[in-house]
Amino acid sequence: MGNWERLVWNQRDVLLAGFAVTIEVCALAFLAALIGGLVLCLTRLYVKPLRPVAVLLIEFFRDTPIFVQLMWVAYVWPELVGFPNDFFTAGWLALGLQSSGYLAETFRAGIEGVPRGQREAAFSAGMSPTQTFARVVMPQVALSSAPSIVNQFTVIVKSSTLVSVITVPDLMSQSQKLVNVWYEPIEILTATAALYIAFVFLISLVGKLIADRLRQRFGLAAS
Partner 1 sequence: MSEALKQSLDLSIFWEYRAILLQGLIFNALVFLCAACIALSLGLGAALLRVSRILPARIVGTLHVELFRNAPDYIMLVWVHFVLPLLIGLAIKRRVEFHPFVSAVIALGFVYSGYFAEAFRAGIQAIPQGNLDAGRAFGMSERLILWRITLPQVVRRMLPEALNLFISLFKATTIVSLIAVPDLMYNVSMVTQQEMRPLPLYTGAALTYFLIIFALSSTARAFSESWRQKIQA
Residues that bind partner 1 (CB under 8 A): 59-60, 62-69, 71-72, 75-76, 79-80, 82, 154, 157-162, 164-165, 172, 176, 179, 185-186, 189-190, 192-193, 196-197, 200-201, 204
CA distances in angstroms from 139 to 52, 136, 220, listed in the order given: 27, 6, 12
Q: Which amino acid, one-letter code, is at 170? A: D
Nearer to partner 1, 94 or 122 (CB): 94
* Residue number with CB closer to partner 1 (121 or 210): 210
Distance, CA of 175 to chain centre: 23
Query: Nearest distance from residue 64's CB to partner 1, in Å?
Result: 5
Residue 44: φ, ψ to 5°: -65, -40
The answer to whether 61 touches 97, Cβ cutoff 8 Å, is yes
Going by C-beta distance under 8 Å and a sequence separation of 6 or more, which residues neighbour residue 213?
A: none
CB of 222 to partner 1, least distance (A): 17
Nearer to partner 1 by Cβ, of 148 and 176: the residue is 176
Of 175, 170, 197, nearest to 8 by C-alpha is 175
In whole angstroms, how close is the CB of 66 to partner 1 at the nearest point? Answer: 7
Task: Tell the smallest beta-carbon distance from residue 190 to partner 1 (Å).
Answer: 6
* Beta carbons of 145 and 157 less than 8 angstroms apart: no
Most distant pair of Cα atoms in the chain: their distance: 72
Nearer to partner 1, 74 or 122 (CB): 74
Minimum CB distance to partner 1 smaller for 51 or for 135: 51
126 DSSP 8-state letter: T
CB of 39 to partner 1, least distance (A): 21
